[in-house]
Structure 1
């Protein structure tokens, strides 16, 4: 018994040392002390085990011992198995900054680093723009009209967008732009997301494109000429990056620019002869100035000795000879302005290169640096806005739509997707807001931008699918009354652009994060490249200490021992501790995967994807925690908060479980399972009672529903577009009164007090009025209420031949 007690105490002491990453010396002291105690009071085998452990730890952990025999061998092995980083990968790794994503990789996140930059909200000017200009813009267009009838925004809306400088949100004030914060840009796009074509048309010029590239890299002359014109809409920009053979793999551009002499404005100048074919370029059909990415070559050495200068970005006026622009693609769902650009032997002066000839070959760096910011704003904000709209529409519809004499929102089969929509909306809003706040505080969150792009556009698709499901026939029938179908069908567009989601998940999130965000890997690779054995020794064995520390933290916290100290209230504390626990498990598994697979990890995309899923869910959970910590919760918000965190931690644990099932090295996988999931899985999906409460909160007039739909367009505008969410809000305010009358009339019908042929609700109400079951005030109220409900439930129909574009192909189904 004494031996067992000493063994357990020794293990506990060693785990404490490991958890704190205290180094080799404290571990040696622990083993020596307990070895002596065991020699005096207990069994000799434990003494031998502890002394051997102390000797091995000294040989490995103490620099003066290991550098003579272990480090050279470890360094030689590392040089063989370490992945080779290409020049383009290195540029991507160097782009952006490391923030909270790096904390997650350590396995011991410092919450102070997350909470130090508090979200201060929008300025008065920014909030006024969101509440006024944005509402005016979205109320000026009808989804059916812009998607089907005209395949464009109305002319007066385009003029309004230019006049109010929607296209110049990122342009500094000194050039006539709005110079909005990242949070304000996100808020604008969320409000405009009620109409996808409008959101895309505004979002793209303020994301990756000529405006941002000019602000960051343009010459003074380029800035002075173009930025004021871009800000007020005199110039409409597009950016040509992708093509038939270069989609998500943008580095494989086949488009070329050859340095040569040519004529421009009647003079011979040094320039570029361009040949290119671009596809899927948003705003290309109406663009007046085209940003273009191409591979630049100087075969004759006109600029120097270098022949292949690399990817370069230039700015080309629309009317440049040889450039073909104006045709359109037909994006699924919403045919926003998107089309091809072609060029055959297009000559431009070197001055057209963004930043001048000094920036020749710097295009890839420019693009990835801009994407590290833009990718976490535009599409994620659109996704958050779409999710908020789904809350407003799905919650409202399911409350006023009655089946089996009850609102369908009271059916548990409907409540499940309603609760999911609410949680996806809450997660998306939290992640977008808090990441935009990081940008406003100087960060360029490259890895979080990939997380948000993938995760939030997938949530958008899922939320709209759930919304379609609960609407049933209402939204599968297209027409002006269908406020959901066009956006739903267009959600696939967000999945494919700015890096296809499959690639983003399987290659980018963990692939980039493993090197960029890990506290030691990048330094180890630098030591390898510099053949610096001493630097490698220092970093590698600190890395080893991190591995042991994460193993100890993951194991003890999985057992419920030594939970992390977190600065959150009682509602949030257990979830923050769950994030800390899985952060340690993630860090350990990431190191195990990189160690056992080495350079092969690049090709094991499913392994990389599951590690990326863990990182992504932990990041989003952290953003939800920060949002809860900083904001003033409304009544009922704890329910969507708990549902969201439970869901995210369930997804994290599920990804961990799948990773361990599929990690190729099975002994390592079994050891990892014993460490990270010693008691099996703990985080299950949200319970039914929480689902019911949350579904009811989003389908009735509650403070929580109001908060969730606040970012989207939820008020009546002063344009032709009628807002379905505003109409549902009005109906929900009257719902309790209407429900009491429904019950009164239903009881009367059950008692046989109403004519049996009165089947329609309107007929029952009139019959109840005649029978003096309802008074004058009640029947007047229900006539109006039921009229509005029926109007929201009604779908469109068209003349027989209205759907055929070619009337000559119509078949006469009613011959004389």
Structure 2
């Protein structure tokens, strides 16, 4: 649902210009220093990148799902650090408040998230709760008007620089699975909360990830999202169903960028007296990349439009994330192959960095294997029950 085509077209043009003229020349520096220059972050704040999906009533752009994925495909035609810097505010870091927060909670935090004054993140994953997200061990014990939280969250994107954490904890003692889970907003500076040192990672330099540790962390009961205890898992699923569409789009942008790099290289490099792009086996890889990118883009846009119509996208969002993340990995591999030896050497090409960066897409927000199981489960659920 595109509400104002001219406004969206202008926004996409601005994103495309920013990515190509500002970000691409910085990618090597960001990779080397593992940090984004402050002036670039300030520009992202001024130009509203942090508030794309936050409602207009709270200072954001209030993009529809279709508008969001179109913008995400443009923004992510860059090293992953760029979209990761703003991505938690336009996705998993703010979406729980947007979906289920009280009016007072939204008014308190969303406007500052929209401007980028606050960086938000989702603290869900734990050492023993990854693919099985219901195996949450972090506890939240009621103590007067507060809850006391204890536990460790792991692999939390933007945790080292986040100001606000959406934390999922178990408030019902003895509960198991998805019952008894509650979503809290916890602010940095709260006694008992700290973040670990950023991890050393295979890729995605400039996108800091770390543990979040809570030791007798005292949080006001008023910071329960929606002020409803025990519905945290339902809130998380609302977040993830939308975010999986967003992430699928964020997998598609890098595939477009990698193919562009490979096309430039194969047209410019000659072997046996002609450009490498003239060879049929190279053309087969180009064709496969272009076709799969088109398929992913089509799937994502159709699912986003369904969500904008108010339809249930649990199945289609899972299919989009599964296909787009796997597609991106296949494109990365083909593009390195098209570069030949120079695709393996960082001194010659950035394609090796993209190859490393996109590997994580098939792991986070549901591994490919978890999505396969989810897709099968939801498909079987749609079928008429067979009676013995």
TM-score, normalized by length of structure 1? Answer: 0.45
Cα 1:120/1:178, change in 2 over 3 Å? closer
- 1:131 shift after superposition: 0.7
The reply to whether residue 422 of structure 1 matches residue 290 of structure 2 is: yes
1:733 is matched with none
Higher helix share: 1
Q: Where does 1:487-502 land on structure 2 (aligned, <5 Å)?
A: 487-502=354-369
SS class of match (1:472): helix
The reply to whether residue 314 of structure 1 matches residue 184 of structure 2 is: yes
1:248 is matched with 131
Higher strand share: 2
2:100 is matched with 217
* Partners of 1:513 and 1:330 in 2: CA distance: 39
Instruction: Decide which structure has the larger Cα Rg and report it.
Output: 1
Q: Where does 1:109-120 land on structure 2 (aligned, <5 Å)?
A: none
* Partners of 2:126 and 2:102 in 1: CA distance: 27
- 1:123 shift after superposition: 2.2
Deviations 1:453-508 (A, max 9, x none): 111100000011101101112221113x5231111111111110001112222x21
- 1:297 shift after superposition: 2.9
* Partners of 2:343 and 2:152 in 1: CA distance: 38
* Partners of 1:120 and 1:324 in 2: CA distance: 41
1:327 to 194, 197, 202: 197
TM-score, normalized by length of structure 2? Answer: 0.93
Q: Where does 1:270-669 land on structure 2 (aligned, <5 Å)?
A: 270-297=145-172, 310-325=180-195, 327-335=197-205, 336-356=207-227, 359-377=228-246, 379-479=247-347, 482-505=349-372, 507-515=373-381, 517-518=382-383, 520-521=384-385
- Residues 285, 327 of structure 1: 8 Å contact kept: yes
- 1:390 shift after superposition: 2.6
* Partners of 2:267 and 2:21 in 1: CA distance: 25
2:30 is matched with 146
* Partners of 1:277 and 1:238 in 2: CA distance: 15
CA RMSD of aligned residues (A): 2.0
Query: Structure 2: 5+ residue runs without aligned partners?
Result: none
* Partners of 2:132 and 2:4 in 1: CA distance: 36
SS class of match (2:165): strand
- Residues 159, 212 of structure 2: 8 Å contact kept: yes
Cα 1:478/1:122, change in 2 over 3 Å? farther
1:26 is matched with none
* Partners of 2:203 and 2:179 in 1: CA distance: 40
* Partners of 1:273 and 1:399 in 2: CA distance: 61
* Partners of 1:435 and 1:309 in 2: CA distance: 29
- After TM superposition, the structure 1 stretch with the greater mean CA deviation from structure 2, 130-139 or 318-327, is 130-139
1:135 to 11, 17, 42: 17
1:721 is matched with none
* Partners of 2:68 and 2:36 in 1: CA distance: 20
SS class of match (2:131): coil
Deviations 1:617-658 (A, max 9, x none): xxxxxxxxxxxxxxxxxxxxxxxxxxxxxxxxxxxxxxxxxx
Structure 1 ranges of 4+ moved more than 6 A: none
